[in-house]
Amino acid sequence: MAEFVYPPVVLAAKTLFRVMDYRIDVQGTEHIPATGGAVIACNHVSYLDFIFCGFGAQPAKRLVRFMAKEAIFRNAVAGPLMRGMHHISVDRSAGQASYQEALAKLKAGEVVGVFPEATISRSFTVKELKSGSARLAAEAGVPLIPMALWGTQRLWTKGRPRDMGQRHVPISILTGAPIEVPPDADLDAVTADLRVKMTALVDRLQKDYPDQEPGAWWLPAHLGGTAPTLEEAAELEARKPE
């Protein structure tokens, strides 16, 4: 398909990264196939994660088509860009159409990006995952690739004011080994395994992160930060759903 919008957007993002001097560390790109379909399943800590998840696939020269909530496509600015980059609109009240669109893209050799937590994790730990990414990989016959991001929450996350003016923020992107998902796989078991692998990737990024600030709001509670625990975050979500 013609790519009139995606390459200029990537160039603009890279220019912004240089201007802001984000210290971006990308590892594990060798796990992203150079050709053919694949599902990338990424943790979700920021409203900007799709940008950095897509950036993580750039060394493999792959353009990722993200499944994103339909409201973004209605935005006057973001909507035309999302459609121009051939991302996939997800209407949660009628999800089968978006699932079929994603499946068709995978079978056509595209890379589809999914945030299986469905919403941003306020605890900055990996929440329970939806099984859709495993189901897509099984039905399309493509690998399921775990990816983790860390640091993006410092720029813009749920429940915090946007702070895009920060410079020199370290942002870490780590891709793990593909998970092969046979057509008859137990999707619940695959999803549980995916969560374990995503958590291990996030733990590694947190351990190696160059900025260590005990008591920081953007650190999870188990690392000495003031972010809510997974249980406290679930209570917040119940009171103030996205």
Domain of residue 228, CATH code: 3.40.1130
pLDDT in tens, 147-197: 999 999 999 999 999 999 999 999 999 999 999 999 999 999 999 999 999
Question: Is 2 part of a structural domain of the chain?
Answer: no
Question: Is 3 part of a structural domain of the chain?
Answer: no
- Whether 38 contacts 140, CB under 8 Å: no
Question: Is 156 part of a structural domain of the chain?
Answer: yes
Q: What is the DSSP letter of 154?
A: G
Question: Is 73 part of a structural domain of the chain?
Answer: yes
Question: Is 199 part of a structural domain of the chain?
Answer: yes
pLDDT for the residue 79: 95
Residue with tokens 């009240």: 93
Question: Is 127 part of a structural domain of the chain?
Answer: yes
Averaged confidence pLDDT in the chain: 96
Question: Is 234 part of a structural domain of the chain?
Answer: yes
Secondary structure in 3-state letters for 6-53:
HHHHHHHHHHHHHHHCCEEEEECHHHCCCCCCEEEEECCCCCCHHHHH
Which domain, by its residues, includes 120? 24-239
Q: Which residues contact 26 (CB under 8 A, 6 or more apart)?
A: 55, 56, 58, 59, 173
Number of domains the chain contains: 1
Question: Is 169 part of a structural domain of the chain?
Answer: yes
Query: Whole-angstrom Cα distance, residue 90 to residue 141?
Result: 22
pLDDT, tens digit only, all 242 positions of the chain: 789 999 999 999 999 999 999 999 999 999 999 999 999 999 999 999 999 999 999 999 999 999 999 999 999 999 999 999 999 999 877 779 999 999 999 999 999 999 999 999 999 999 999 999 999 999 999 999 999 999 999 999 999 999 999 999 999 999 999 999 999 999 999 999 999 999 999 999 999 999 999 999 999 999 999 999 999 999 998 887 66
pTM: 0.96
